[in-house]
Structure formats: structure tokens, C-alpha cells
């Protein structure tokens, strides 16, 4: 490992920068990079290329092709661009490709070139065209900022929740700014733009001129500006070949550098590590790459090919037609261990382990040296940490082996940092693989979190790997495996070439009764893709009827929903469906449906009894249920009518119904009641006193008690009261 630091380049006294190859690209690029619109997503994300025919003098007649590659150059999608001219491409935080068209329409594509949606950046743009656009990331999501032909800016800080903000006018702006960028400060997005020697900051209220402190004199124009990954720092490149670096608030200058190159750079990006004191920017020209920082000298690289810079959290990715490299500041732990002639504990431990493998007694000497200083725990920790920052598995292994070796001589060293690093590296190496092509560094991975990484794998349809990772890390099923399987199933239902049966079976086979998987969600997705039949099949697997019903209703399978609701035994659910059906069907059909579902019918009847009496009558009518209809009218005779005629009329209707129901007993009894009522009325008129609503017996008794024996006997005869039942007047 003598030459291990061969690719380390010092910048000033305290920092080293190294550039190493991530992948050798064998993408089959048809165009030169310089002829394309390029967008590469951070965190080792995908690369989108669109040959830009619209900017050329002679517009090509052939439609351009939009191509999406993984970071390792594996093609993910390729589609013929049929829409309008594109000004700019960019990736959102959810790894969706945003294509800003000249007419202000933004088309959103998925990782696999599937069209998701589109939105417009406002009507104003229609006339003025979009001159330039930037996609930027904020804590709310991903934002889009555009510069229109009228030299006005419009931005939206979150495309997921689109709110367009038209920025104030810059006074006296006649031509397009020489460079501009979106800034994000205090949760608000601003625009910083350069016009000649002046800088302006646009917030949503005002436009203010700003001056960077300590800017060298003689600047007549700014050619490039770059904001750091975290929006904390800003770099400006002037026409004098001078670079100013400071805070994004423009309150403080960090350093400056004069590179003496007046040609405008192609790209300028920040290259810094979180929590590092070193600040540096990488500037790229056609054939030259320069790292400049707070040092009199810069680091220079020669570029053999057209290259493109992708700023990352802890460095810069540089890709070209044939390679994909990573340029970053060497992390502290690595520096301590590998710096030439380092006596850091980690370095000694690594040495000791190597000697130990060579079966040399020097191992003991090194070890003793560390132990005498009592630095073995730090040594182990350093090796573990350094392993995390190494890209090559061999080097990771040898560092981890050293850590493990050192651990043997420690009584109480908590094992979790070692174990966790081993696990993390395993995951990282797996996703860095050429076929997967997500070249995450350890710091990026920690920032991104495992959940998001899993989401990204799912987005790339790498379900098996995602599941393997879940199982390997023993993530709880609901967050891990089940979630991924559910995503897989949602993808599966979109495969239109597979039959409904096969899809449903395949999904059920894989998912089974995995906890946390909702078949109704998958079914909802299937319905979303227009596969209603498949959705119904999938719902069959849903164990909770309560979950089936809402979707069935949405799919207009109300009758099926009704039987599912009944199956669930949840009367509230049944009721929900009933109300739905009531609005959906005409009355006759609704009643017919009820008729076949006695449970629902009883429920609805109960409701009607209290709330919609008329409907209840209609229900009975529909069913030709004359018996109940009779009862209904009898009830009505008590409830509504005070006047005797009304009551008698209601009773007559009831009696008719009873006859229709072939219930002669009830019909006769009702007729008797009518007779009795009329009679009682007469008695009240003739004799006074209260007779109405007495029972027959009580009427007779009352008559006897008031000495009307004749009438009493007449009554008993009329109503054929059996002799033995004839009241004696003593009240029984």
C-alpha cells in the first residue's frame, strides 16, 4: 500500500483531495455530452440526457430522444421526445424527472420514463417563453425557478404542492442576467442574479442590490455562480478570472482566488464535506478541472473528455463518456491512517495487523506502542470510521480486520459500532454494484437513511435486493419486507400483458398473509390502472371486509359492496352502502336490491320507521307485503289522526290491506274496531262521558255501571261476545 496516497492532492497545508473512479461507463452515447441537456440526481441518482436540437442554428428534423441511465451507465429508459422544446431538465427529491419546456409547461417523468403528470409555470410564460430554468431542492421538496423572456423570474418552492410565486421586477433589466441561481435561506427561496457588475437578490417582496464583502475591484461582470449543497456558501466567478467564496448570506468572505483564466467556465460547483473546515469549489472548463480553496495554489486536473459535474453532499461526481469519478476531500480518519509517516493510533494498528498477518513480532511492538499511550480504543474507532470512507471492498476489509484485531486486546469495547459498520458497508457495496448503480458514500447514506434508500431501490424496481437488505438488517416487517412487497404488487398490477388471474395469483402467492400488507391498497392501484376485474379479484384476498367496501363503492360495484358489508357484520358499513345505493339507483331498483338482502332490509326498515315513514310504506308496497302494510296503517291511525273520521279511514285502508294479505282475522278485527269507534263516538254524543278507545269489555262495563244495561246487551250481541265472557259489571 505504499502508493495508496498517490491520488491524494494537497490543497494548502491541511487538506487533501482525491479523485477515484466509481465506474467505467460503457453507455452507448449517441451524442456528445456537450450537445445534450444533462441532469444528474444527487445521492448517486440517475442521469437524464436529452439531445438539445432546439438551441442549434439548424433545427434537426428528427425528434430527439430522452434517455435515462443509472449512475453506472445502465440504460433505464429511452423515449422519443414528442413534446415541445425543452429548456432545462432536473431531478426532484423523489427522483422524478422534471422537464421544463419553453412554453412553461413542466412535464414530470418517472425513473423509467413513465409519464406522471404535468403542470404549468403560469400563463405569462406562454408569450414570453422560458429562457432558462433551475430545479433546486429545499426542505419542502423540489422547487422550480424560471427566467422568462421578459426577464422576470417565477418560482415554486415545492412542485408537489404547486404555488407559483412571481418575483418582483429587477429595475432596469434589459437583457438576460449573466448568471443566476436559486437560493434557499430561512425556509424561503430567493433568486440571486448578476447583471454586469451588480448583484441583485430577489425575495418575494423586493429586489435589493447586494455586494459581496471584500470583492476584488475591477469586476465588470460575473460569469458563474455556485451555491453549496446546503445553501450555506456561495462562489462567484468574475470575468477577471477571479473567484470569490463566501457565505450565501453575502455577509462574510471566506477566501478568494485568482485563476487567471478569463474564459467562462462550463460549470462551477462546491466540493466540501459536512463538518469540515475546508471550503473548496471545483471549476470545470472544456479540458481543465480546477479545485480551488483557501490556498495560494490550486489542484489541477486535465479532462480528456467532455465531462459533467454533479455536486454531492460530501464531494463532486464527475462523469464523462467513459468514466464516472468521485472527487472529495479526504476524510479525517483516512487522512490520519494513511498520511505518509502517520503515527496516529489507527495507522499503527493497521500496521500491527499487517505485521501480525506476516507473523512478524513487529505486530507486538506496534500494539505495545498504542497500548502504552492508552489509545487502542481510538485506534479501533479510527479504523472502523476509515473503513466507512473507503470505496474499495479490499481496503474496507483490511481496515475492518485491523479494527477487529485491535478489539481483541480490549476488555470492554462496545461491539455495535463495528457491527453496524460491517452491515452498512455490506449494504453500500451492494448498491454500489455496477448493475444497481447507486454510488452512495457513507456520509450520503447516513444522510439519506435506509428507509429512503429502500424507497429508491423500490423505485428502480429492485425488489429482491430491497427485500434482501430488509432481511439482512432485520427491519421490522411492516416497515421493511411488507412495504416492499406491497410496492412490488402495485407495480405488478400495472403489467398489462399479464392476465388478471395470473397477476392476482402471483401477488397472493408472494404476499400471502404478510402482516401490514393491505390488499385493498393494491386493489386501489389496480383500479387506478383501469383494471377493475383485477381489483375485485385482489379484494377477495383482503381479510377485512371493512377495507373492501369503500373501494368497491368507488368502482361502482355497489351490490357486491353490499354483500361484503353484510358479510362483515358491521351494520354501519351496510348503512353506508345503502345510502350510496339509494342515491345511485332509482327507487325501484334500490328496493329490489334490498329485497334480496334481508339483513340490509331490516336495517333500512328500522331507520325508516324512525325517520322516513313514507319510504317504509313504499317498501311494503313494493314487496306486496300487505300484512305489514296493514299494520302500518293501523299504527298511522293511532299516530296521526285525532279526528275520528281520519282514524276510521286509516283503519279502512288497513282492513283492505289485511284482506289482500288473506288475513281475514286481522281484517275483521280491524272492521270491528272501526264499528266500535263509531259506536263509542255515538255513545259519547248521546250519553256523555268518555268511551273512545276503551276496549269492548270496558265499554260494556261502563255502560252497565251507568245503568245502560240494554245498550250493553245490544253491544254484546252485536260484537258476539260469548256469554261466559260477558262482563258482569263488577269488573271481573
- Any contact of residue 712 with another protein (CB under 8 A)? no
Q: Looking at 610, 643, 710, 717, which residue binds another protein (CB under 8 A)?
A: 610
Question: Distance between CA 318 and CA 310 in Å, rounded?
Answer: 6
Cell of 727: 262482563
- Any contact of residue 659 with another protein (CB under 8 A)? no
Whose cell is 437488505? That residue is: 469
Strand positions, DSSP E, 472-589: none
Indicate the residue among 443 and 680 with the shorter CB distance to another protein. 680
Sheet with 153-156, side-by-side order of all strands: 130-138, 141-148, 153-156, 165-166
- Any contact of residue 92 with another protein (CB under 8 A)? no
Q: Looking at 635, 649, 656, 714, which residue binds another protein (CB under 8 A)?
A: 635
Question: Distance between CA 210 and CA 194 in Å, rounded?
Answer: 10
Indicate the residue among 332 and 721 with the shorter CB distance to another protein. 721
Using CB under 8 A, which of the segments 13-21, 185-193, 194-202, 596-604 binds another protein?
A: 596-604
Q: Looking at 168, 694, 713, 714, which residue binds another protein (CB under 8 A)?
A: 694
Please, which of residues 518-547 interact with another protein by CB under 8 A?
543-544
The crossing angle, in degrees rounded to 10, of helices 696-705 and 709-718 is 160
Indicate the residue among 422 and 608 with the shorter CB distance to another protein. 608
Question: Distance between CA 406 and CA 414 in Å, rounded?
Answer: 13
Indicate the residue among 322 and 663 with the shorter CB distance to another protein. 663
- Any contact of residue 517 with another protein (CB under 8 A)? no
Minimum distance of another protein from residue 691's CB (angstroms)? 12
Q: What x/- string results for residues 548 through 567 when contact with another protein is judged by CB under 8 A?
A: ------------------x-
Please, which of residues 404-423 interact with another protein by CB under 8 A?
none
Neighbour count for residue 236 (Cβ, 10 Å):
25
Q: Looking at 13, 171, 665, 710, which residue binds another protein (CB under 8 A)?
A: 665
- Any contact of residue 569 with another protein (CB under 8 A)? yes
398 contacts 350 by C-beta, under 8 angstroms: yes
- Any contact of residue 672 with another protein (CB under 8 A)? yes
Q: Looking at 185, 360, 602, 709, which residue binds another protein (CB under 8 A)?
A: 602
Indicate the residue among 119 and 607 with the shorter CB distance to another protein. 607
- Any contact of residue 731 with another protein (CB under 8 A)? yes
- Any contact of residue 732 with another protein (CB under 8 A)? yes
Query: What is the enclosing helix (H) or strand (E) of 445?
Result: helix 442-448
- Any contact of residue 676 with another protein (CB under 8 A)? yes
- Any contact of residue 718 with another protein (CB under 8 A)? no
* Burial class of residue 559, CB neighbours in 10 A (0-12, 13-18, 19+): middle
- Any contact of residue 719 with another protein (CB under 8 A)? yes
Helix (H, G, I), strand (E, B) or coil at 119: strand
- Any contact of residue 361 with another protein (CB under 8 A)? no
Q: C-alpha distances in angstroms, 319 versus 282, 311, 445?
A: 14, 11, 20
- Any contact of residue 673 with another protein (CB under 8 A)? yes
Q: Looking at 80, 205, 302, 639, which residue binds another protein (CB under 8 A)?
A: 639
Q: Looking at 54, 697, 706, 714, which residue binds another protein (CB under 8 A)?
A: 697
DSSP assignment of 189-258: EEEEEEETTEEEEE-SS-EEEE--TTPPS----EEEEEE-TTS-EEEEEETTSEEEEEETTSS-EEEEEE
463 contacts 484 by C-beta, under 8 angstroms: yes
Using CB under 8 A, which of the segments 40-48, 56-64, 364-372, 628-636 binds another protein?
A: 628-636
Nearest to 126 by CA among 109, 145, 104, 111: 104
Using CB under 8 A, which of the segments 156-164, 212-220, 230-238, 694-702 binds another protein?
A: 694-702
Using CB under 8 A, which of the segments 50-58, 190-198, 474-482, 595-603 binds another protein?
A: 595-603
The phi, psi pair for 277, rounded to 5°, reads -80, -20
Burial 589-599 (b: 16+ CB within 10 A, else e): ebbebbeebeb
Indicate the residue among 89 and 486 with the shorter CB distance to another protein. 486
223 contacts 238 by C-beta, under 8 angstroms: yes
Question: Distance between CA 381 and CA 372 in Å, rounded?
Answer: 17
Cell of 430: 451492494
Nearest to 288 by CA among 297, 272, 299, 279: 299
Helix (H, G, I), strand (E, B) or coil at 367: helix
Which is it for the CA torsion 528, 529, 533, 535, positive or negative? negative
Minimum distance of another protein from residue 571's CB (angstroms)? 4
- Any contact of residue 613 with another protein (CB under 8 A)? no
Q: Looking at 20, 115, 472, 638, which residue binds another protein (CB under 8 A)?
A: 638
Using CB under 8 A, which of the segments 172-180, 328-336, 364-372, 572-580 binds another protein?
A: 572-580
Q: Looking at 570, 584, 618, 684, which residue binds another protein (CB under 8 A)?
A: 570
Q: Looking at 35, 669, 714, 729, which residue binds another protein (CB under 8 A)?
A: 669
Q: Looking at 150, 162, 579, 592, which residue binds another protein (CB under 8 A)?
A: 579
Which is it for the CA torsion 465, 471, 472, 478, positive or negative? positive
Size of the site for another protein (CB under 8 A): 48
Indicate the DSSP class of residue 723. G
- Any contact of residue 605 with another protein (CB under 8 A)? yes
Q: Using CB under 8 A as the criterion, which residues of the chain lie in contact with another protein when the complex forms?
A: 543-544, 566, 569-572, 575-576, 579, 598-599, 601-603, 605-607, 610-611, 625, 627, 631, 634-635, 638-639, 665-666, 669-670, 672-673, 676, 693-698, 719, 721-722, 724-725, 727, 731-732
Amino acid at each position: 500500500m505504499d502508493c495508496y496516497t498517490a491520488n491524494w492532492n494537497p490543497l494548502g497545508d491541511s487538506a487533501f483531495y482525491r479523485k477515484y473512479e466509481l465506474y467505467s461507463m460503457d453507455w452507448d452515447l449517441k451524442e456528445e455530452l456537450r450537445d445534450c441537456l444533462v441532469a444528474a440526481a444527487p445521492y448517486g441518482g440517475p442521469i437524464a440526457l436529452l439531445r438539445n436540437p432546439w438551441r442549434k442554428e439548424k433545427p434537426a428534423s428528427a425528434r430527439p430522444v430522452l434517455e435515462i441511465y443509472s449512475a453506472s451507465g445502465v440504460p433505464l429508459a429511452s423515449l422519443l421526445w414528442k413534446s415541445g422544446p425543452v429548456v432545462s431538465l432536473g431531478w426532484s427529491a423523489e427522483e422524478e424527472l422534471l422537464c421544463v419546456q419553453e412554453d412553461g409547461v413542466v412535464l414530470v417523468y418517472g425513473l423509467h420514463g413513465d409519464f406522471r403528470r404535468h403542470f404549468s409555470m403560469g400563463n405569462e410564460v406562454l408569450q414570453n417563453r422560458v429562457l432558462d430554468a433551475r430545479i433546486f431542492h429545499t426542505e419542502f421538496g423540489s422547487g422550480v425557478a424560471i427566467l422568462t423572456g421578459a426577464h422576470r423570474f417565477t418560482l415554486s418552492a415545492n412542485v408537489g404542492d404547486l404555488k407559483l410565486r412571481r418575483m418582483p421586477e429587477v429595475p432596469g433589466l434589459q437583457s438576460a442576467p449573466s448568471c443566476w441561481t436559486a437560493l434557499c435561506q430561512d425556509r424561503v427561496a430567493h433568486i440571486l442574479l448578476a447583471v454586469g457588475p451588480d448583484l441583485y437578490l430577489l425575495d418575494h417582496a423586493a429586489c435589493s442590490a447586494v455586494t459581496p464583502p471584500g470583492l476584488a475591484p475591477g469586476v465588470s461582470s460575473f460569469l458563474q455562480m455556485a451555491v453549496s449543497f446546503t445553501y450555506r456558501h456561495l462562489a462567484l466567478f468574475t470575468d477577471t478570472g477571479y473567484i470569490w467564496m463566501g457565505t450565501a448570506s453575502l455577509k462574510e468572505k471566506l477566501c478568494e482566488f485568482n485563476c487567471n483564466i478569463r474564459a467562462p467556465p462550463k460549470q462551477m460547483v462546491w466540493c466540501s464535506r459536512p463538518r469540515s473546515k475546508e471550503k473548496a469549489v471545483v471549476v470545470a472548463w472544456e479540458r481543465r478541472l480546477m479545485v480551488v480553496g483557501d490556498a495560494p495554489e490550486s489542484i489541477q486536473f486535465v479532462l480528456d473528455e467532455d465531462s459533467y459535474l454533479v455536486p454531492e453532499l460530501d464531494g463532486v461526481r464527475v462523469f464523462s463518456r467513459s468514466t464516472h469519478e468521485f472527487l472529495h476531500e479526504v476524510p479525517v480518519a483516512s487522512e490520519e491512517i494513511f498520511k505518509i509517516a502517520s503515527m496516529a493510533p489507527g495507522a499503527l494498528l493497521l500496521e500491527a495487523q499487517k505485521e501480525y498477518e506476516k507473523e512478524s513480532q513487529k505486530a507486538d511492538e506496534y500494539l505495545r506502542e498504542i497500548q502504552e499511550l492508552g489509545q487502542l480504543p481510538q485506534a479501533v474507532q479510527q479504523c472502523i470510521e476509515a473503513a466507512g470512507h473507503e470505496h474499495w471492498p479490499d481496503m474496507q476489509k483490511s481496515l475492518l480486520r485491523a479494527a477487529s484485531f485491535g478489539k481483541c486486546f480490549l476488555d470492554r469495547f462496545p461491539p455495535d459500532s463495528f457491527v453496524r459498520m460491517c452491515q452498512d458497508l455490506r449494504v453500500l457495496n451492494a448498491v454500489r454494484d455496477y448493475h444497481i448503480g447507486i454510488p452512495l458514500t457513507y456520509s450520503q447514506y447516513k444522510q439519506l437513511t435506509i428507509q429512503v434508500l429502500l424507497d429508491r431501490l423500490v423505485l428502480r424496481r429492485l425488489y429482491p435486493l430491497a427485500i434482501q437488505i430488509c432481511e439482512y438488517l432485520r427491519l421490522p416487517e411492516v416497515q421493511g419486507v411488507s412495504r416492499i412487497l406491497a410496492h412490488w404488487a402495485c407495480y405488478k398490477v400495472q403489467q398489462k400483458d399479464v392476465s388478471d388471474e395470473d397477476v392476482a395469483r402471483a401477488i397472493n402467492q408472494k404476499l400471502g398473509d404478510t402482516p401490514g400488507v393491505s390488499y385493498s391498497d393494491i386493489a386501489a392501484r389496480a383500479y387506478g390502472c383501469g383494471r377493475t376485474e383485477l381489483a375485485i379479484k385482489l379484494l377477495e384476498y383482503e381479510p377485512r371486509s371493512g377495507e373492501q367496501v369503500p373501494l368497491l363503492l368507488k368502482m361502482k360495484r355497489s351490490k357486491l359492496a353490499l354483500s361484503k358489508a353484510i358479510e362483515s357484520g358491521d351494520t354501519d358499513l351496510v348503512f353506508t352502502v345503502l345510502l350510496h345505493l339509494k342515491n345511485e339507483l332509482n327507487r325501484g331498483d334500490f328496493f329490489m336490491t334490498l329485497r334480496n338482502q334481508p339483513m340490509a332490509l331490516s336495517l333500512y326498515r328500522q331507520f325508516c320507521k324512525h325517520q322516513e315513514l313514507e319510504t317504509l310504506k313504499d317498501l311494503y308496497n313494493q314487496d306486496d307485503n300487505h300484512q305489514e302494510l296493514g299494520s302500518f296503517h293501523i299504527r298511522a291511525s293511532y299516530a296521526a289522526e285525532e279526528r275520528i273520521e281520519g282514524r276510521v279511514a286509516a283503519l279502512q285502508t288497513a282492513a283492505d290491506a289485511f284482506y289482500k294479505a288473506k288475513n281475514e282475522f286481522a281484517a275483521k278485527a280491524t272492521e270491528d274496531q272501526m264499528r266500535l269507534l263509531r259506536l263509542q263516538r255515538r255513545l259519547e254524543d248521546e250519553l256523555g262521558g268518555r268511551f273512545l278507545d276503551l276496549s269492548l269489555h270496558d265499554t260494556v262495563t261502563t255502560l252497565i255501571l251507568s245503568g245502560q244495561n240494554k245498550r250493553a246487551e245490544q253491544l254484546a250481541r252485536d260484537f258476539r261476545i260469548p256469554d261466559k265472557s260477558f262482563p258482569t259489571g263488577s269488573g271481573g
